[in-house]
Structure 1
């Protein structure tokens, strides 16, 4: 198969959360365990850091990878979802896996995938583990896809486990309370493996503490351990919490045989985008008018981003917004400013919420504007109605941002 045909097969033949929502979520690791056995256990052939959380896990993963790259290590990075190209999910030192590698892996294992009815995510995890083992990375930073305890990545035994901010997202699968969701994320905590928690959230502290006691391991709250604020090329205010989690993780790795200097940490955080190719985090797309996009898509993430929007200087605010159809709008729409001009759109995926429906729902919260047939049309309309001193924000969904970066 060609690369395009291979991706089409992966995307359309098998269940995938990105396309289907909760019906793609599998509540056990049987398939992944069978897959890694079939692949000769590649996950046992490299060291790793495992990163879970509701918000910040992607940025934190990229920060850790960037710092280790600055220290001269060969660093694998597995994240999801991708924005522009599937291959963004699997990188070594910022370079995406080749199209040839993707095609070959699927061709070599297609019969096994079909026999076991593997999901898109399970296949992709297997591809990443296989690639990192084959390329003999020094360490791989592995981001959890969804949850933690039952996520396909949770067959690794990392050097450090990292858990970032916990919020009410994917409640259909992970639970209706912060404690239930935190317990799922805490499922990545392993026996005698230190765990870094990026920030203290009073209502769920006991969940992590109890799990760390059960697993006989040390727990580190990065917000307490790291007192310095670090500069980063990732400009969102929320990145301070992520950078502290990354730095604390590096400190622990230094006790386990890695050698990362303070200057490596500093340079790694200043060059995350250059070193790893991260997109869509408080990303400036244009200067006049200022156009900013961000992949924040749940209440906790959007609260940070919208607060930072309020700190900017502008004449008028224009917001291009689209969401997926299972988004809990009652939790996120009240956060948005009523005095902005809205441009409602539907991201170009089957799970996208119809733009006119979003417009109607938003009107209930005094958010007013027109709806458009596509993200690009909405953005063009926002540009048309903006002056040089205005600000345009594009967001609401990862899939909206994917169409503009």
Structure 2
């Protein structure tokens, strides 16, 4: 199957991406498909990562640390920012279009033979496992797509299971409480898993400790970021693990929360090796981390930032970084398109503290309609709100409006950040 045919096949199997609904969630379809492919998900050890926020950053940090140690690393993440090939990587490099087409073609060939009609995410997950087996990576770092227990990635038996944190998200599938969400995410813990717990609520921690893993490490008790200072273009960290204190570690990502993610990632990699890492490996691994679309600075005059915050907890962190670390002196301009409760998202972003808010439709059928988003912004006290049909139109107007001392923040979902990125790159370069 060539790449264009593969894209068409994926599009034919979109459901959740278009409707936000999943019928009868189960790992049985992907289990049957991967069995027919020769169980590629069992071809090498796995580090499996779930959590409400920080999964993507933590996965990238783990992958870079493993690669700095000399391993060939397969990384699977979701969603993509601009191109579907971003989801499947070896040592940081995306799968080629030709290789992705071939891998999806293999899934498409076996699926009817085992009586399955997989969804979009299941297809890509199976294709990722097959490609990782074909190119013989040494280890897979796999990001959960949705919650954990019945996520398509949860057919793996991980050596290390990582939980970044727990917040209220995807309550249409698990809820209504944090305990319900934690129990679903704890479903990735297998009998042989060492569990790395980045959550700080003692009652939620117990859920993961009791999930049946072989051992557990808890943030604060067993590992921590002991110093987390603002640095030029990132953070300067001291990190304590069960074996070592690593000092003056530079992480080229914005926001104190990324320092917390770094401690989780380092504890996970140490646990995977059952040994401390050499200082040069830690410094090299973290220095190589990049996270497009996660508080990514695309321009300086005006300050132009995109962030994929997609739930109120992530939006709150985004606002903390924007107003705290950057405290822009000029006008503050917000461009927002979201799929979540608009009042909750805009409140968490502190939209009423911006001088002007440009609301737009995120490029997905699940977007909150722009008229509803505009009403929500006005309901929380935003005085100047302008509506646009598209992310591109909103970004162009924001950049026309902004002066050199101003700051433009584009956020609300990864769909919004992904659509904004190429537009803003053209306008700022």
TM over 0.5: yes
SS in 1 for 2:352: coil
Partner of 2:366: 351
Of 32, 35, 44, the match for 2:33 = 35
Which of 394, 400, 418 pairs up with 1:384?
400
User: Are 2:176 and 1:200 equivalent residues in the alignment?
Assistant: no
Query: Aligned residue for 2:352?
Result: 338
Contact 2:337–2:361 (CA<8 Å) still a contact in 1?
yes
State the alpha-carbon separation in 2 of the partners of residues 321 and 314 from structure 1: 21
* Structure 2 CA distance for aligned equivalents of residues 153 and 33 of structure 1: 10
Does residue 1:20 correspond to 2:19, yes or no? yes
Which contiguous aligned blocks of 4+ residues in structure 1 show a shift greater than 3 angstroms?
Answer: none
Q: Distance in 2 between matches of 1:158 and 1:64?
A: 14
- For structure 2, the 5+ residue unaligned runs are 227-237, 240-248, 422-429
Q: Which has the higher strand share?
A: 2
Aligned residue in 1 for 2:427: none
The residue number in structure 2 matching 1:176 is 176
Which stretch shifts more, 350-359 or 222-231? 222-231
- Report the alpha carbon displacement of residue 106 of structure 1 after superposing the two structures with TM: 2.8
TM-score, structure 1 as length reference? 0.93
User: The residue matched to 1:356 in structure 2 has which SS?
Assistant: helix
* Residue aligning to 2:267: 248
Residue 301 to residue 109, structure 1, CA distance change in 2 (3 Å) = closer
Partner residue, 2:210: 210
Q: Is the Cα contact below 8 Å between 1:175 and 1:181 reproduced in 2?
A: yes
Q: Which residue does 1:89 correspond to in 2? A: 87
Q: Does the 8 Å CA contact 2:250/2:287 hold for their aligned counterparts?
A: yes
> What is the Cα deviation at residue 20 of structure 1?
2.2
Give the TM-score, by structure 2 length: 0.88
SS at match of 1:191: coil
Say whether the 8 Å CA contact 1:113–1:123 is kept in structure 2. Answer: no
Secondary structure at the aligned position of 1:168 is classed as: coil
Q: How many residues align?
A: 392
1: distance between equivalents of 2:18 and 2:252?
31
Separation of aligned partners in 2, 1:249 and 1:331 = 33
Match of 2:316 in 1: 303
- Deviation sequence 1:162-185 (CA, Å, 0-9, x none): 001111111001221100000000
In structure 2, what is the equivalent of residue 3 of structure 1? 3
Distance 1:247 1:199 in 2: 15
Deviates further, 184-193 or 226-235: 226-235
Shift of 1:216: 5.0
Tell me, yes or no, if structure 1 residue 122 matches structure 2 residue 122: yes
Structure 1 runs not aligned, ≥5 long: none
2:379 is aligned to 364
CA-atom RMSD in angstroms: 1.7
